[in-house]
């Protein structure tokens, strides 16, 4: 009996330490597949062409338009951290609302960003208001 307790305890410890602790794992995978080519692995953007997401004042101050921006892209210029960026951002029409939720939660909490989380229900609400935002690449 004592032998089985030791094995059970060992298996319990093994399962605890083998669990993935990356909170935003799905968002990271989606970011790598849909965003990283332009915004780079570390969120610094493509120098003078694609704006950064890491420590981005635009990201921080425009949380209510991120859903529409990610889904529909943007054709207009934007100022990020005091720099003008003119490169259009393409639409990501393949991304579902759950995907966008995961991506936003990942970028809001990566690279030193601490911009909170967004709930799926908020993503749905924001998506319904996309047609009211100017400059989207619809």
- Alpha-carbon distance of 12 to 57, in angstroms, equals 44
Q: Please answer whether residues 130 and 68 qualify as being in contact, where contact means their C-beta atoms are separated by less than 8 angstroms.
A: yes
Reading the block at residue 88, the tokens are 């259009």
Q: What is the pLDDT of residue 6?
A: 60
How does DSSP classify residue 64?
G
SS3 5: helix
Closest CA to 26 of 86, 95, 102, 85: 102
Reading the block at residue 37, the tokens are 């080519």
Note the pTM of the prediction, 2 decimals: 0.80
- Alpha-carbon distance of 69 to 135, in angstroms, equals 9
CATH classification code of 24-132:
1.10.760.10
Q: Residue 86: exposed, middle, or buried by beta-carbon count in 10 A (0-12, 13-18, 19+)?
A: exposed
Q: Please answer whether residues 60 and 81 qualify as being in contact, where contact means their C-beta atoms are separated by less than 8 angstroms.
A: no
- Residue 127 main-chain phi, psi, to 5 deg: -60, -35
Report the number of secondary-structure helices (H) and strands (E) in the chain.
7, 2
Q: Is the pLDDT of residue 86 over 60?
A: yes
Q: What is the pLDDT of residue 130?
A: 86
Report pLDDT digits (tens) over 26-63: 999 999 999 999 999 999 999 899 999 999 999 999 99
């Amino acid at each position: 009996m004592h032998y089985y307790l030791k094995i059970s305890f060992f298996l319990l410890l093994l399962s605890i330490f083998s669990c993935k602790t990356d909170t935003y794992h799905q968002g990271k995978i989606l970011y790598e597949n849909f965003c990283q080519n332009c915004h780079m692995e570390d969120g610094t953007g493509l120098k003078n062409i694609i704006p950064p997401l890491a420590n981005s004042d635009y990201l921080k101050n425009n949380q209510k338009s991120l859903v529409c921006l990610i889904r529909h892209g943007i054709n207009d210029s934007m100022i990020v951290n005091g720099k003008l960026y003119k490169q259009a951002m393409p639409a990501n029409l393949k991304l579902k609302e759950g995907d966008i939720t995961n991506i936003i939660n990942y970028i809001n909490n990566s690279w030193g960003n601490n911009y909170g989380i967004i709930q799926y229900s908020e993503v749905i609400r924001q998506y319904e208001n996309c047609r009211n935002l100017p400059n989207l690449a619809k």
